[in-house]
A and B are shown apart, each in its own frame.
Chain A
Amino acid sequence: MSTHFQAVGWNRQKKIYDSILAGSLILYFSAFLGAGALLNPNATAETLLIRALGTAAMLLLHLILCIGPLCRLNPIFLPLLYNRRHLGVTMFLLGLAHGIFSIVQFHALGNTNPLVSLFTANQQYSSFVKFPFEVLGFFALMILFLMAATSHDFWLRTLTAPVWKRLHMLVYVAYALLIAHVSLGALQSETSPLLAVVLGIGMTIVMGLHLAAASRERSLDLARVKASTEGFVEVCDFNTIAEKRARIVSLSGERVAVFRYDGKVSAISNVCRHQNGPLGEGRIIDGCVTCPWHGYQYLPENGASPPPFTEKVPTFQTRILNGKVFVHPQPHAPGTRLSPSCITPPSAGRCA
Chain B
Amino acid sequence: MIQPLRRHHFRIWIVIAIAAWTIFAMALMRRETATPRNPELSWEKYR
Chain A contact residues, CB within 8 Å of chain B: 42-44, 47, 128-129, 165, 169, 172, 175-176, 179-180, 183-184, 187-191, 196, 199-200, 203, 207, 210-211, 214-215, 217-218, 221, 253-255, 271, 276, 278
State how many angstroms separate the Cβ of B45 from the closest Cβ of chain A.
7
Residues of A within 8 A of B13 (CB): 172, 207, 210-211, 214
Of the residues B3, B12, B19, contact of A255 by C-beta under 8 Å: B3
Q: How many A-B residue pairs have CB under 8 A?
A: 88
Asked whether any CB of chain A lies closer than 8 Å to the CB of B31, the reply is: yes
A188 lies within 8 A of B34 (CB): yes
30 contacts between A and B (CB under 8 A): A42-B45, A44-B47, A128-B26, A129-B27, A165-B5, A175-B20, A176-B16, A179-B20, A183-B28, A184-B23, A188-B27, A188-B31, A188-B32, A190-B34, A196-B28, A199-B24, A200-B24, A207-B16, A210-B13, A211-B13, A214-B6, A214-B10, A217-B6, A218-B10, A221-B3, A221-B6, A254-B2, A255-B3, A276-B1, A276-B5
Which chain B residues numbered 1 to 47 have a C-beta less than 8 Å away from chain A? 1-3, 5-6, 8-10, 12-14, 16-17, 19-21, 23-24, 26-28, 30-32, 34-35, 42, 44-45, 47
Assuming the A-B contacts A214-B9, A271-B1, A276-B1, are A183 and B34 also in contact, with contact meaning beta carbons closer than 8 angstroms in the complex? no
Distance between A269 CB and nearest chain B CB, rounded to angstroms: 9
Give the docked Cα–Cα distance between A187 and B28 (Å): 8
Looking across the interface, which residue of chain A has its beta carbon closest to that of B14?
A: A211
Question: Chain B: which residue is nearest A161 at the CB level?
Answer: B2
Q: Nearest Cβ distance between residue A287 and chain B, in whole angstroms?
A: 26
In whole angstroms, how far apart are the Cα atoms of A243 and B3 in the complex? Answer: 27
Closest CB in chain A relative to B23 CB, distance in Å = 5
In the bound complex, how far is the Cα of B4 from the Cα of A10, in angstroms? 34
Closest Cβ neighbor of B39 among chain A residues:
A191
**Interface residue ranges, B against A (CB under 8 Å):** 1-3, 5-6, 8-10, 12-14, 16-17, 19-21, 23-24, 26-28, 30-32, 34-35, 42, 44-45, 47
The answer to whether B16 touches A175 (Cβ under 8 A) is yes
**Which has the most chain B C-beta neighbours within 10 Å: A175, A214, A218?**
A214
Taking CB as reference atom, which chain B residue is nearest A271? B2
A183 to B28, CA, bound (A): 7
A180 touches B31 (CB 8 A): no
Majority SS at the chain A contact face: helix
Q: Given A128-B26, A214-B6, 20 other A-B contacts at CB below 8 A?
A: A42-B42, A42-B44, A42-B45, A44-B47, A165-B5, A169-B9, A172-B16, A179-B20, A183-B28, A184-B27, A187-B28, A190-B34, A203-B20, A203-B24, A207-B13, A211-B13, A214-B13, A217-B10, A254-B2, A254-B3
**Which residues of the partner chain B approach A189 to less than 8 Å between Cβ atoms?**
34
Q: Check A44–B23 contact: CB distance below 8 A.
A: no
Cα A350 to Cα B8 in complex, Å, equals 39
- Given A44-B47, A183-B27, A271-B2, also A210-B9 (CB < 8 A): yes
State the CA gap A183–B42 with chains docked (Å): 23
Complex alpha-carbon distance, A211 and B28, angstroms: 24
Partner of A44, one of B6, B8, B16, B44: B44
Which chain A residue has the least Cβ–Cβ distance from B17?
A207
A99 to B23, CA, bound (A): 22
User: Is the beta-carbon distance between B31 and A179 smaller than 8 angstroms?
Assistant: no
Contact (Cβ within 8 A) B17 A211: yes
Q: Do A169 and B8 touch across chains, with their CB atoms under 8 A apart?
A: yes
Residues in chain B near residue A214, CB distance under 8 A: 6, 9-10, 13
